[in-house]
Structure 1
Amino acid sequence: MKNYLSGIIVLLFYTTAGSMTADNRFSPDKTLWYKAPAVQWEETLPVGNGRLGMTPYGNPFKEHVVLNEISMWSGSKACYDNPDAAKSLPEIQRLLAEGRNREAQELMYTTFVPTMTTDGGTYGSYQMLADLNIDLSYGSDKVSDYTRWLDLTEAAAYTSYSISGTEYVQECYVPRGEDVMIYHIKASRPGSINLTASLSRPERAVVSSAGDNRLLMTGTLDSGAKGIDGMKYALAAAITASGKGASTHSTDSTLAVANADEVYIVMGAATTYLYGALYNTAALNAVNKATAGTKALAALKEEGIKRHRMLFDRAGIELEEGHAAALPTDRRIEAFQTQSEPSLAALYYNYGRYLLICSTMPGGMPPNLQGLWANGVSTPWNGDYHTNINVQMNHWPVEPGNLSELHGPLIDLVKRAVPNGAHTAKVFYGPEARGWVMHMMTNPWEYTDPGQHPSWGATNTGGAWLCAHLWEHYLYTADRQYLSEIYPVMKGAAEFFKSTMIKEPKRGRLVTAPSSSPENTFTVGDDPTPISVCMGPAMDSQIIRELYGNVAEAATILGVDSLFADSLRRDMALLPPDSIGHDGRLMEWLEEYDETDPHHRHVSHLYALHPGNGISASLTPELAEACRKTLERRGDGGTGWSRAWKVCFWARLGDGDRAYKLFKALLTPAYIYNSTDYQGHGAGTFPNLFCSHPPFQMDGNWGGTAGISEMLLQSQDGFINMLPALPDEWQSGSLHGFKVRGGATADIQWKNGKVTSATITGGPVSSQKIKVPAYVRHISVNGKDVKADEFIHLDLSLGEKAEILFD
Structure 2
Amino acid sequence: MKLYYDHPAENWHESLPLGNGRIGAMVYGGTKKEILALNEDTLWSGYPEKTQKKLPEGYLEKVRELTEKREYQKAMEYLEECFSSSEDVQMYVPFGNVYMEMLDGTEEISDYHRELCLDTAEVRITYKNQGALVEKSCIVSQPAQVLVYKIRSEKAFSLKLYVEGGYARESCCTDGILKTKGQCPGRVPFTVGEGGSEKAVPVFPEEPEKQGMCYEGWGKIVTDGKVNEAGNAVIVENAEEVTLYYGIRSSFAGFDRHPVIEGRCPEELLKADFDCTGKSYEALRTEHLKEYQKYYKRVSFSLGEKDEYAEKDLRQRLTDFQDHPEDVGLNALLFQYGRYLLIAASRPGTQAANLQGIWNAELVPPWFSDYTININTEMNYWQTGPCNLEEMGEPLVRLCEEMAADGKETAMHYFGKEGVCSFHNTDLWRKTTPADGRAEWNFWPMGYAWLCRNLYDQYLFTEDRAYLERIYPVLKENVRFCVEGVVGTAQGYAMSPATSPENDFLFGEEKKEKLTVAQYTENENAIVRNLLRDYLEAGRILG
Could you state the TM-score of these two structures normalised by the residue count of structure 2?
A: 0.91
Q: Residues 95 and 167 of structure 2 are in contact (CA less than 8 Å); yes or no, is this contact kept in structure 1? A: no
Supply the distance in 2 between the matched residues of 1:103 and 1:196 (Cα, whole angstroms): 63
Match of 1:214 in 2: 177
* Residue 175 of structure 1 pairs with residue 154 of structure 2: no
Q: What displacement does 1:525 show? A: 0.9
Match of 2:478 in 1: 493
2:211 to 211, 223, 229: 229
* Residue 34 of structure 1 pairs with residue 20 of structure 2: no
* CA radius of gyration, larger in: 1
Supply the distance in 2 between the matched residues of 1:379 and 1:269 (Cα, whole angstroms): 20
Which amino acid is the alignment partner of residue 185 of structure 1?
I
Provide the secondary structure at the position in 1 that maps to 2:134.
strand
Q: What displacement does 1:90 show? A: 0.9
Q: Residues 89 and 435 of structure 2 are in contact (CA less than 8 Å); yes or no, is this contact kept in structure 1? A: no
Match of 1:435 in 2: 419
Match of 1:196 in 2: 160
1:165 to 126, 131, 152: 131
Any idea what the Cα deviations from partners look like across 1:735-788, whole Å, max 9, x if unmatched?
xxxxxxxxxxxxxxxxxxxxxxxxxxxxxxxxxxxxxxxxxxxxxxxxxxxxxx
Match of 1:517 in 2: 500
Match of 1:344 in 2: 330
1:355-434 matches, cutoff 5 A: 355-430=341-416, 433-434=417-418
* Residue 470 of structure 1 pairs with residue 455 of structure 2: yes
Which amino acid is the alignment partner of residue 344 of structure 1?
L
Any idea what the Cα deviations from partners look like across 1:337-371, whole Å, max 9, x if unmatched?
12111111111111111111111110111111111
Match of 2:193 in 1: none
Supply the distance in 1 between the matched residues of 2:298 and 2:371 (Cα, whole angstroms): 27
Any idea what the Cα deviations from partners look like across 1:127-169, whole Å, max 9, x if unmatched?
1111011111343311111111111111111111111221101
* Residue 552 of structure 1 pairs with residue 536 of structure 2: yes
1:126-165 matches, cutoff 5 A: 126-165=92-131
Q: What displacement does 1:202 show? A: 4.0
Q: Residues 156 and 172 of structure 1 are in contact (CA less than 8 Å); yes or no, is this contact kept in structure 2? A: yes
Provide the secondary structure at the position in 2 that maps to 1:147.
strand
Supply the distance in 2 between the matched residues of 1:352 and 1:310 (Cα, whole angstroms): 16
Q: Residues 176 and 305 of structure 1 are in contact (CA less than 8 Å); yes or no, is this contact kept in structure 2? A: no
Q: Residues 89 and 425 of structure 2 are in contact (CA less than 8 Å); yes or no, is this contact kept in structure 1? A: no
1:600-749 matches, cutoff 5 A: none
Match of 2:340 in 1: 354
Supply the distance in 2 between the matched residues of 1:64 and 1:237 (Cα, whole angstroms): 14
Supply the distance in 1 between the matched residues of 2:157 and 2:58 (Cα, whole angstroms): 70
1:308 to 287, 292, 305: 292
Shift in CA distance, 248/516, structure 1 to aligned 2, threshold 3 Å: same
Q: What displacement does 1:113 show? A: 5.0
Any idea what the Cα deviations from partners look like across 1:365-394, whole Å, max 9, x if unmatched?
111111111112211111111111100100
Q: Residues 429 and 500 of structure 1 are in contact (CA less than 8 Å); yes or no, is this contact kept in structure 2? A: yes
* Residue 279 of structure 1 pairs with residue 245 of structure 2: no
Supply the distance in 1 between the matched residues of 2:337 and 2:538 (Cα, whole angstroms): 35
Provide the secondary structure at the position in 1 that maps to 2:302.
strand
| Gap runs ≥5 in structure 2 | 189-204, 255-262
Supply the distance in 2 between the matched residues of 1:48 and 1:416 (Cα, whole angstroms): 24
Q: Residues 76 and 123 of structure 1 are in contact (CA less than 8 Å); yes or no, is this contact kept in structure 2? A: no
Supply the distance in 2 between the matched residues of 1:428 and 1:85 (Cα, whole angstroms): 10
Provide the secondary structure at the position in 2 that maps to 1:319.
coil
Match of 2:248 in 1: 269
Number of residue-to-residue matches in the alignment: 512
Supply the distance in 2 between the matched residues of 1:154 and 1:425 (Cα, whole angstroms): 45
Q: Residues 112 and 428 of structure 1 are in contact (CA less than 8 Å); yes or no, is this contact kept in structure 2? A: no
Which amino acid is the alignment partner of residue 317 of structure 2?
R
Shift in CA distance, 285/480, structure 1 to aligned 2, threshold 3 Å: closer
1:46 to 17, 40, 52: 17
Any idea what the Cα deviations from partners look like across 1:40-89, whole Å, max 9, x if unmatched?
21110111111112111111101111011111111222222222155311
Q: More relative contact order in 1 or in 2 (CA 8 Å, sep 6+)?
A: 2
Shift in CA distance, 210/143, structure 1 to aligned 2, threshold 3 Å: same
Shift in CA distance, 161/486, structure 1 to aligned 2, threshold 3 Å: same
Supply the distance in 1 between the matched residues of 2:249 and 2:65 (Cα, whole angstroms): 51
Which amino acid is the alignment partner of residue 239 of structure 1?
I
Shift in CA distance, 56/139, structure 1 to aligned 2, threshold 3 Å: same
Supply the distance in 1 between the matched residues of 2:308 and 2:280 (Cα, whole angstroms): 42
Match of 1:239 in 2: 221
Which amino acid is the alignment partner of residue 497 of structure 2?
P
Supply the distance in 2 between the matched residues of 1:41 and 1:296 (Cα, whole angstroms): 29
Q: What displacement does 1:223 show? A: 1.8
Supply the distance in 1 between the matched residues of 2:166 and 2:476 (Cα, whole angstroms): 45
Q: Residues 403 and 432 of structure 2 are in contact (CA less than 8 Å); yes or no, is this contact kept in structure 1? A: yes
Supply the distance in 1 between the matched residues of 2:242 and 2:125 (Cα, whole angstroms): 14
Supply the distance in 2 between the matched residues of 1:221 and 1:555 (Cα, whole angstroms): 44
Supply the distance in 2 between the matched residues of 1:548 and 1:300 (Cα, whole angstroms): 47
Q: Residues 459 and 518 of structure 1 are in contact (CA less than 8 Å); yes or no, is this contact kept in structure 2? A: yes
Shift in CA distance, 134/202, structure 1 to aligned 2, threshold 3 Å: same
Supply the distance in 2 between the matched residues of 1:474 and 1:544 (Cα, whole angstroms): 19
Supply the distance in 2 between the matched residues of 1:86 and 1:439 (Cα, whole angstroms): 20
Q: Residues 324 and 341 of structure 1 are in contact (CA less than 8 Å); yes or no, is this contact kept in structure 2? A: yes
Q: Residues 272 and 279 of structure 1 are in contact (CA less than 8 Å); yes or no, is this contact kept in structure 2? A: yes
Shift in CA distance, 513/41, structure 1 to aligned 2, threshold 3 Å: same
Supply the distance in 1 between the matched residues of 2:236 and 2:523 (Cα, whole angstroms): 59
Q: What displacement does 1:417 show? A: 0.2
Shift in CA distance, 260/429, structure 1 to aligned 2, threshold 3 Å: same
2:231 to 246, 252, 262: 252
CA RMSD in angstroms comes to: 1.8
Supply the distance in 2 between the matched residues of 1:50 and 1:255 (Cα, whole angstroms): 28
| Gap runs ≥5 in structure 1 | 1-29, 117-121, 560-807
Q: Residues 96 and 167 of structure 2 are in contact (CA less than 8 Å); yes or no, is this contact kept in structure 1? A: no
Which amino acid is the alignment partner of residue 60 of structure 2?
L
Q: Residues 424 and 446 of structure 2 are in contact (CA less than 8 Å); yes or no, is this contact kept in structure 1? A: yes
Match of 1:753 in 2: none
Q: What displacement does 1:296 show? A: 3.3
Provide the secondary structure at the position in 2 that maps to 1:260.
strand
Q: Residues 75 and 224 of structure 1 are in contact (CA less than 8 Å); yes or no, is this contact kept in structure 2? A: yes
* Residue 69 of structure 1 pairs with residue 33 of structure 2: no
Match of 1:460 in 2: 445
Q: Residues 387 and 441 of structure 1 are in contact (CA less than 8 Å); yes or no, is this contact kept in structure 2? A: yes
Q: What displacement does 1:298 show? A: 2.4
Could you state the TM-score of these two structures normalised by the residue count of structure 1?
A: 0.62
Supply the distance in 2 between the matched residues of 1:422 and 1:492 (Cα, whole angstroms): 8
Q: Residues 76 and 223 of structure 1 are in contact (CA less than 8 Å); yes or no, is this contact kept in structure 2? A: yes
Q: Residues 86 and 429 of structure 1 are in contact (CA less than 8 Å); yes or no, is this contact kept in structure 2? A: no
Which amino acid is the alignment partner of residue 86 of structure 2?
T
Provide the secondary structure at the position in 1 that maps to 2:31.
coil
Q: Residues 81 and 114 of structure 1 are in contact (CA less than 8 Å); yes or no, is this contact kept in structure 2? A: no
Which amino acid is the alignment partner of residue 401 of structure 2?
K
Which amino acid is the alignment partner of residue 118 of structure 2?
L
